[in-house]
A and B are shown apart, each in its own frame.
Chain A
Amino acid sequence: MWDLCTNALDTAKLRGASYGDVRVMHLRQRDLTTKNGQVGTLAQSESIGLGIRVLASAAWGFASTDRLTREGVAACAAQAVSIAKASALAKRSAVVLAPEKAYVDSWQSPFRKDPFEIPLETQLALLLAADTEMRRVKGVTLTETNMQFRKIDSWFASSIGSRIHQRKVISGCGIVATSFQGEEIQKRSYPNSFGGQHTLQGYELVESLDLMRYAPIVAEEAAALHSASRCPEKFGTLILGGSQLGLQIHESIGHPIELDRVLGQEANFAGTSFLTLDQLNRLKYASNIVNVVADARLDHGPGLGTFAYDDEGVPAQCTDIIKEGKFRGYLSNRETAHLVGLERSSGTMRTESWNRLPIIRMTNVSLLPGTWDYDDLIADTQDGILMETNRSWSIDDRRYQFQFSTEVGWEIKGGKKVRMLKNPSYSGITTEFWNSCDAICKFDHWTLWGTPNCGKGQPMQTMGTGHGASPSRFRNVRIGTAFSKQ
């Protein structure tokens, strides 16, 4: 693979590129699903190819190919240079990259059980057994289960001399029970919606989920939601479960801190950000107990945003985003770092595949644990609603105003969970919401959740991101708007 990389970089240089980086990637994937006791999808795929990004005439060009011969790679590199020269026809300013060292390294994400070595029969048997357990519950009209495994090898080389090989193994698994009754469709997912939990782990993730224990629970809750009371409309106290809070972090902190959005590079599609450059180190983003980091290091956990180097050859880092409530940092790359006074990229350039350009992406954007025990938090809440497991999510294109609904809510009265609520939702303005946070549970209740479906860029790229969170409490939140008939 290194020969292909060298060939590409040499060709680019010969054609006039002043800088180049190249990725050869080999992606393998296995997908298994069941529905109502039958196997749904059973597929595996592999894709291998090369993508090269070059600077020529101080403008960017990128080309990719699956023709991994000397001729194919050389043609691809030459095309990238030609495209860069075309870019220069409508260049606004010369691209300047923050300095970075050259690295020669090889890294593999740790896993205990290679999911591709586990017999398919074992994997399907578990999914079908969980499916059967859910279908035993009266009122359940649709049962779905899934597993997804990926193994990604990437060989990165750049014209400054880096040669980095990384191998990542990613696993995902989840189950869903749906119930149609009267004029309602209700559902419950475990351990999360979006296909469950997804981490940078092997099959040990699946084994840790204990699907057989939770299958009847989610099925019973899905059926029970029909007879639950409707979530009221009011301003009140809200407790978010960890996975829902993970998505809240993703949408209202993770996206607005992307420097490409801040600088208008996503204005036509993903949108911009309310976090204009003058807000750095000034904005009171959240209450004093809120600390958020963007941490791609393995020390943070096996998240979907964990790696050793980003796709620009910059080592994984931990960046303070919110420290004691104050806005402290953006997600940057080598091109944008200097615009916020940084000497170096924060290492967040990521690509979906060999045929996509690396762009600024969330890594693991996590809310650090607080001090509360979960039971104490519930006991301390006189009147509130606990919401768990995302059902819908939406936020404006500058990331101010959001609305989420969850699969289930629980009314809390006098420090106790007293009854189930259906159709829960809440909404608000990002900074007002985060400034209303008055309790965060401790590390015992903290999970690094995986969001596997983050879309960004044109052509669209889907990326996995990590979000550590523990249940947390927010005051005076607008509740129940989504289902309002006003």
Chain B
Amino acid sequence: MKAAAKTKKASGTNAGAAELLHERELRDIVDTVLRLAKSTEAEETEVHVDEVADALTRFANNGIHQNVAEHGLTISVRTVVEGRSARATTNRLDEDSIRSTIEASLSLARSQPKNPRLLPMPGKQRYRAVRRFIGRTAALTAEDRARAVRRACDLAVKKGQVAAGIFSSGQGQTALGNSRGLFAAYRETRSQFSITMQKDSAASWAKANSADVRAFDPQKLTARASEKAHRAVNARELAPGRYTVILEPAAALDLVGFLFYDFAATALEDKRSCLNERMGKQLFGQNISITDDVYHPLQQGAPFDGEGLPRQRVLLVDRGIPRNLVYSRAAAQAARKEPTGHGFALPNEYGEAPMNLVFAGGDSSVDKMIASTKRGLLVTRLWYIREVDPYEKVMTGMTRDGLFLVENGHLTSAVRNFRFNQSLIEMLKNVESLGPAVRATGEEAFEMVVPAMKIRDFHFSEVTKF
């Protein structure tokens, strides 16, 4: 088969990193699909080619217990016929399978009524270059990760603690082309280290994530988690209620990260956004400004959206006032606005979303926040956050892995974990100070650039047993 014959699918013969296809080879696959689609009923065709080569080393009880690697490449085809469109996806690269996938897409498309909102595919676009492929990250091997994990576990043993976590690295790329001549390609590397240090029932945690594995030091993260786990012993129980909290960046991220879809024009059109009837009003405090900016140096992701439109930087919240939304092409047409390059791959019912949020930071720091707090709580991490009330944006969840009482400017003791029920709208009115915005990573929201936040009157409703 022609497309596959030109490719050399990566799959290392050792524990080393896989090699991605060259961009030229991705373009060959796109061209093959577009050529084959020409001999069908398809009036327009769009092709996504996605390739990943990821590896993850997982450890617990001071040793590696899972260690995995994967490689995969998928071809996803969207066709348009008589005002109808649908998508079919395969990971088989031979021409017969590609033909079948095109036919499947056409068959799905023909089965539905005409879509009045369907627009012609966009033509050729220009993209701003971003460089997020770091050779050192791509070259990281299972042995490299195992040695770093070994050092982390050795520290845990030395301190009488138990380590659990992950060290992952990988690379991925995507190419998007269509029958109107659009072609876009992007590749990136990714790496992540996350560690939980436990001492009996006490635990604490640290995590970092970057395209460049040299941007963080697993041993420093280990030492930080170890030191905080040491402080986390003998947690005392406090009464639920309203507290001043200092949210470390990961904790802040996992809460504010739930706001992202509210800025989608389609979410407002569907009346499921908390910003319905609130745009242009002073909704948050004046110290809250939010931008979606894929080009920010701490961000990752492709500079184009699911239809291949260039992503634009959009000021979403200006000094507490929601000013702008993001628009896919269809949502923009419905609202008589310009698309912002935030659309999901079609067809879909969600439209678009800002995926690269950047919160404006401030001149404080976690240390300064602690020093300025008479009585409050330092929150390391939040967990199992879910939306309770979509319009008031009330979120529930738990603190986890390091909750500390601050009294008269000092950490004085560990505290048993709380459940919170807190409106994000209210919370962002009550932000007293902000640290510098950093690339934060947690478990509940995708990575964003957010600061540590000191917030008054944060609502904890119940306490758990540890």
Give the contacting residue for B272; candidates A84, A178, A459; CB below 8 A. Answer: A178
Contact with A along B68-94 (1 / 0, CB 8 A): 111111101000000001111111100
> A residues 58-117 with Cβ under 8 Å of B?
59-67, 72, 75-76, 78-80, 82-87, 89-93
A144 interface residue, CB < 8 Å from B?
A: yes
Contact B112 A86 (CB under 8 A): no
Q: Given contacts A64-B71, A264-B162, A486-B461, is CB(A141)–CB(B90) below 8 Å?
A: no
What is the minimal beta-carbon distance from A263 to any residue of chain B, in angstroms? 7
Contacts A78-B13, A79-B15, A482-B388; A458 near B56 (Cβ below 8 A): yes
B203 on the A face (CB < 8 A):
yes
Cβ proximity bits A27-57 to B, threshold 8 Å, 1 near / 0 not: 0000001111011111111111101000000
Residues of A within 8 A of B120 (CB): none
Contact of B391 with A185 in the complex, beta carbons under 8 Å:
yes
Q: Which B residues lie within 8 Å of A263 (CB)?
A: 60-61
Give chain A residues whose Cβ lies under 8 Å from the Cβ of B165. 268
Contact between A482 and B396, CB atoms less than 8 A apart: yes
Q: Does the CB pair B66–A66 fall under 8 Å?
A: no
Contacts of A39 in B (CB 8 A): 112-113, 115, 347
> B111 touching A121 by the CB < 8 A rule?
yes
Determine whether the beta carbon of B69 is less than 8 Å from that of A79: yes
Q: CA–CA, A92 to B59, complex, Å?
A: 10
Whether the pair B67, A83 counts as a contact (CB closer than 8 A) is yes
**Chain A contacts for B203, CB-based, 8 A:** 267
Cβ of A180 under 8 Å from chain B:
yes
Q: Is A268 in contact with B205, judged by CB distance below 8 angstroms?
A: yes
- Tell me if A267 and B391 are in contact (CB < 8 A): no
Contact status A481-B462, CB under 8 Å: yes
Is B127 close to A, CB under 8 A?
A: no
The reply on A469 being an interface residue by CB < 8 A is no
**B141 beta carbon closer than 8 Å to chain A:** yes
* A46, B112: Cβ atoms closer than 8 Å: no
A177–chain B nearest beta-carbon distance, Å: 12
Hey, which chain A residues are within 8 Å of B146, CB to CB?
A: 86-87, 89-90
- A: interface residue count bin: 35 or more
Cβ contacts under 8 Å, B465 to chain A: 274, 398, 400-401, 429
Q: When the two chains form their complex, are residues B13 and A459 in contact, meaning their CB atoms are under 8 A apart?
A: no
Which residue of the partner chain, among B61, B66, B107, B386, contacts A392 with CB atoms under 8 Å? B386
Q: A475 CB to closest chain B CB, in angstroms?
A: 19
A71 to chain B, nearest CB (A): 9
Given contacts A63-B70, A86-B141, A142-B271, contact A400 B464 (CB under 8 A): yes
Which residues of the other chain, A, contact B398 by a CB distance below 8 angstroms?
394-397, 401
Q: 29 A–B contact pairs at CB < 8 A?
A: A33-B349, A39-B115, A44-B108, A61-B68, A62-B66, A62-B69, A63-B68, A67-B71, A75-B12, A86-B67, A86-B146, A89-B146, A89-B147, A92-B61, A92-B65, A92-B153, A121-B111, A185-B272, A265-B65, A267-B198, A268-B195, A394-B398, A401-B463, A427-B419, A429-B465, A458-B58, A478-B462, A482-B421, A483-B421
Interface residues of A (CB under 8 A from B): 33-36, 38-49, 51, 59-67, 72, 75-76, 78-80, 82-87, 89-93, 119-121, 124, 128, 141-142, 144, 178, 180, 183-185, 263-269, 271, 274, 355-357, 359, 391-398, 400-401, 403, 405, 423, 425, 427, 429, 458-459, 478, 481-484, 486
Q: Given known contacts A91-B63, A268-B196, what 9 new A-B pairs fall within 8 Å (CB)? A: A40-B349, A42-B112, A62-B68, A67-B71, A180-B391, A185-B272, A185-B391, A459-B56, A486-B241
Please list the residues of chain B having a beta carbon within 8 angstroms of any beta carbon in chain A.
Answer: 9, 11-16, 54-74, 76, 85-92, 104, 107-109, 111-113, 115-117, 141-143, 145-147, 149-150, 153, 162, 164-166, 168, 194-196, 198, 203, 205, 241, 270-272, 276, 347-349, 383-392, 394, 396-398, 400-401, 417, 419, 421, 443, 459, 461-466
